[in-house]
Amino acid sequence: MKKFPTLTISNHPLIQHKLSYIRDKTTSKKVFKELVDEVGTLLAYEITKSLPVRAVQVDTPLATTTCHVVDAERVVLVPLLRAGLGMVDGVLNLIPNCAICHLGLYRDHDTHEPVTYYFKPMPEPEERMFMMVDPMLATGGSAIASADLLKKNGAKNIKFMCLVAAPEGVEAFQHAHPDIEIYAAALDERLNDDAYILPGLGDAGDRLFGTK
Ligand SMILES: O=P(O)(O)OC[C@H]1O[C@H](OP(=O)(O)OP(=O)(O)O)[C@H](O)[C@@H]1O
Ligand SMILES: O=c1cc[nH]c(=O)[nH]1
Ligand SMILES: [Mg+2]
C-alpha cells in the first residue's frame, strides 16, 4: 500500500531537469518564472490525461473522419495567489480556452494558517474540472482551505498540481480531501521550523515577483 495513495510524482526527465534549476538559488527571476511555467505545462499534460473527450466529425482535405475534442471551457484553472499565478501561462500553453478562477490567500507568517482574501465562484461548478495550481504544498493549510472553498461552492471534480510537496502537507491534504489527486514534480524531505520546505526552492512568491 502506497503511503500517499493520492499523490503522483512525475519522474519525467525534463521535469526533473527543470526543477534542478528552479531549486538553484542563483537562478535569475526571469529564468525562474520561465521554468515554473514550463514545468506547469508538463504537469498539466499529466494531470489532464483523464479529461473526457467528445467525438466530432472533421473534414480533412481528403475525407471525413471522427476526431475527439476536449470541452476546454469545462476545465477551470484555479491559481492560488500569488505564487500559483506563476504557473498560469504554462497551463494556458496547453489549454488556452480554459476558464481561470483566481483564489487569493496567504499564509499568516506567525500562525502559518491560511487567510483568504479573494474568491469569485464559477457558475455551474458541478459540470467542471477544477485544477488548483500552486508551486508549494507545505503544511497543506492553503491547499486544504482552497479545496474546502471550491467544494462549498459546488465543485465535485478537483485536482491539485504543485511543484514541490512536503510529506506533512501531502498527509494533511489527503486526510482532508481523499478524493483529490495531487500531482507534483517532487516530494521533499520535511518542513523546517518556519514551515518552509526542505530542501525546497525558497519562497516561491518572492522569487516569482521579486519581493524580497
Ligand atoms: O501549505 P502551506 O503551509 O499553506 O504553504 C504553502 C503556501 O505558501 C505560499 O504562499 P504564501 O502564503 O507565501 O503567499 P504568496 O503566494 O502570496 O507568496 C505558497 O505559494 C502556498 O500557497
Ligand atoms: O517552502 C515554502 C513554503 C511555503 N511557501 C513557499 O513559498 N515556500
Ligand atoms: Mg510567498
The mean pLDDT of 89-103, rounded to a whole number, is 96
pLDDT at 67 over 90: yes
For 133-181, what is each residue's pLDDT tens digit?
999 999 999 999 999 999 999 999 999 999 999 999 999 999 999 999 9
Q: Give a three-class secondary structure readout of 87-154.
A: HHHHHHHHCCCCEECCEEEEECCCCCCEEEEEECCCCCHHHCEEEEECCEECCCHHHHHHHHHHHHCC
Q: Quick one: pLDDT at residue 104?
A: 98
Note whether 77 and 133 are within 8 A (CB).
yes
14-36 pLDDT per residue, tens: 999 999 999 999 999 999 999 99
Q: How far apart, in Å, do the first and last CA atoms of the chain sit? A: 42
**How large is the ipTM?**
0.97
| pLDDT for the residue 73 | 85
Domains of the chain: 7-50+71-209 (3.40.50.2020)
| Whether this model's pTM surpasses 0.80 | yes
By most ligand atoms within 8 Å of CB, the mutation choice from 82, 188, 196 for ligand 2 is 196
Beta carbon of 90 within 6 Å of any ligand 1 atom: no
Ligand 2 pocket residue status of 114, Cβ below 6 Å: no
